[in-house]
Chains A and B, each alone.
Chain A
């Protein structure tokens, strides 16, 4: 059975990973564009409007990539995970249909107006259309995470005799305790990506001595937004999520943290180490005693159950993958806070634009928020395995019964080829826009 679902899982993992490179920038960047536009309305300084227009070009390209790679996601529930769709469609279909009806229409209708309508509508209405695009993209994130939360922590359902999940409490989908921390955590992650992208482009301009006026604006805006987001992503939202996992998915929590044995007198926090699942131990570990117990339960001696206490049939299927994803996310998040803190101190001392090593670091940091966001999602998804709906429906029981793995491999290869092309085109075109730089409004 495991072999049959391999290509289905690979295809979903590949297409969703590639897809989410784009929305994470869309969601954060839309907020920052709205900010530039708002500053322009308040100050009437052209620089802000020019900045908004420049980022709109990147946004439009990025948004198009997000849309074209997003449509396959909705289809794949049915094409590759038909049994899952049939059994749970009455519930997750609600939130996915709402996403289409509430957020995609909002985004797509107003994006056209936002991109082409500035002259037709005037500045205030143009700001409003930008705000609505932002609202649509965040609503989309909210409804996707509502769907995700139900799979992690099912609520408001009953299971019929034929195995179908039916909804019995619509409100529960939105008061799900999993939803709010996950949503805020994800949105802050998205804002970190956009902050680093904006700051990296600014640093690129400053280090090249071109578009310096915009370079300063981008670096400044990026590091301020970035610092706030990277703190909130860790505390309170990340902390809150980890506690949810510890309470509701203790076996996942143990695997994430790399805890094999339950320790008396409190659990250590693992900083570095390689899980050896066969021999149930962690190699080369560097750990700090009792900190994990304190972070999780605010007591130094609180017990945290190790993996060995759980039956292997409920262990996450890829323990090392889960452990590394989580540690990469947390490690990068810590580096982000450190770098952005230093950058803000230099900004406050009015020395940031001359501190070359910080500018270089900001520029080279560009790929890492993408990696951190991806690692975060891998933590959530690998952590839920071997379940599709936690504790209720196993992943092997959710695939399409009639689609052969040969057909799935064919389409997986097709997606890989096509997305490789999309990725190359995106980098080439985004590079071209960035290299050309913002255009300044000509004074008449």
Chain B
């Protein structure tokens, strides 16, 4: 039963990253490449009717985490206290940037909310990448100093950084060179993903330029991914032990690299949606590779005193998990129906939706 909910949770997390990822990415593209009002409008229209529903996946992931793995929810949310609250503030800024911009027609007003939307999208992508880095690296569960736990074995607290920025320090920080590397990968990968979405959903003048942007960023991404694979060895001496044990898991890295290399052909795709498909493959494969490499750990422990939080020791009680399956299946079917309806009504190019116009 724990395994079922683990798969549900990871699937939902991946869907969240793919969906909200494209509108974060659109925000990053908006910040750096949309100079003309027409381009900005195209980008807003491309994500307008969707971003809110995309963000609901985050709430749903949080809810399922709370219900199925309450120990992990309690431990990680209090341990990563500051960055989580900052993510909330950024989400608020981003949302009001999108929703309030069109309320008043004034160039200063619009410029403020454009920047709020763009900058918070960029920072969110960075923060979520850093979060993934923290989960791969692990934390000092129980806050052990000299072999003695200062708290219960599953609680911890991390400051934003420590003076060394080293992922090997006894007292870790949330930002160190390794997690920052994953943060930058997050920004680049989502910028590509967002650009692909804009190409897919609009006939904007920007599209030709964006294809070049995707191509260039993809080179950067490839280099960063290679660096991260090497640095992974420094964090974890045997990062691929699960892949040795279960060879079928190799499908995930293969998907990742299919997505990554496929994107180099971005300029010759026959259909505008192909780019988005490949960046989706990259995100899906990348996330699946990462979480399966630490399985069954959910949050590894960096000390030898307290055990890692795993799928089995962080889960809720059996009865609750079993009864949850019934309502979850019903809800999942409904959500699938809503999504089909939503994407059918707003199918094709979105240039004329008129999002945020009053």
Q: Which residues of A are in contact with B by a Cβ distance under 8 Å?
A: 57, 60-61, 64, 67-69, 71-72, 74-75, 77-80, 82-83, 85-86, 88-94, 96-102, 104-106, 108-113, 115-117, 120-121, 160, 164, 166-168, 170, 400-404, 407, 410-411, 414, 418, 422, 425, 429, 432-433
Contact = CB atoms under 8 A, between A and B. Distances in A.
B220 interface: no
A71 B104 CA distance: 26
Contacts of A75: 62, 77, 84-85, 88
A431 B277 CA distance: 44
Contacts of A110: 338
A64 B96 contact: yes
B53 A112 contact: yes
Nearest to B353: A116
Interface residues of B, number: 68
B320 A91 contact: yes
Interface in B19-64: 48-50, 52-53, 55-56, 58-60, 62-64
Contact of A85 (B77, B92, B96): B77
A61 B70 contact: no
Given A79-B85, A105-B335, A167-B320, A89 B91 contact: no
A97 B324 contact: yes
A67 B151 CA distance: 35
Given A105-B334, A401-B152, A411-B85, A82 B77 contact: yes
B191 interface: no
18 contacts: A60-B99, A64-B52, A78-B77, A82-B74, A85-B66, A85-B70, A85-B73, A86-B75, A90-B70, A104-B60, A105-B334, A108-B56, A109-B341, A115-B49, A402-B143, A402-B156, A404-B157, A407-B81
Contacts of A113: 49, 341-342, 345
Contacts of B76: 78
4 A-B pairs with least C-beta separation: A89-B70, A78-B77, A93-B67, A97-B63
Given A75-B77, A102-B331, A93 B319 contact: no
A166 B75 contact: no
Most chain B CB inside 10 Å of its own CB: which residue of A92, A97, A429: A97
B103 interface: yes
Contact of A79 (B78, B92, B104): B78
Given A64-B99, A112-B49, A89 B81 contact: no
B151 A402 contact: yes
A166 B322 CA distance: 12
B59 A109 contact: no
B74 A106 contact: no
Given A71-B59, A94-B67, A116-B354, A429 B103 contact: yes
A72 B95 CA distance: 13
Contacts of A120: 345
Given A97-B60, A402-B155, A79 B342 contact: no
B323 interface: yes
B358 interface: yes
A73 to B, nearest CB: 10
Given A74-B59, A101-B60, A400-B81, 15 more contacts: A67-B55, A68-B95, A68-B96, A82-B77, A85-B70, A86-B74, A89-B67, A93-B63, A93-B66, A96-B66, A97-B60, A105-B338, A112-B342, A402-B156, A414-B85
A433 B50 CA distance: 24
Contact of A422 (B91, B92, B328): B92
Contacts of B52: 64, 67, 108, 111-112
A105 B73 contact: no
Nearest to A417: B89
A171 to B, nearest CB: 9
Nearest to B88: A72
Nearest to A106: B338
B194 interface: no
Nearest to A170: B323
Contacts of A98: 63, 327, 331
Contacts of A60: 99
B71 A86 contact: yes
A89 B66 contact: yes
Contacts of B73: 77-78, 85-86, 89, 93
A99 B339 CA distance: 17
Contact of B316 (A90, A96, A102, A432): A90
A80 B78 contact: yes
A318 to B, nearest CB: 25
A64 B95 contact: yes
A407 B159 CA distance: 10
B251 interface: no
Contacts of A401: 78, 151-152, 155
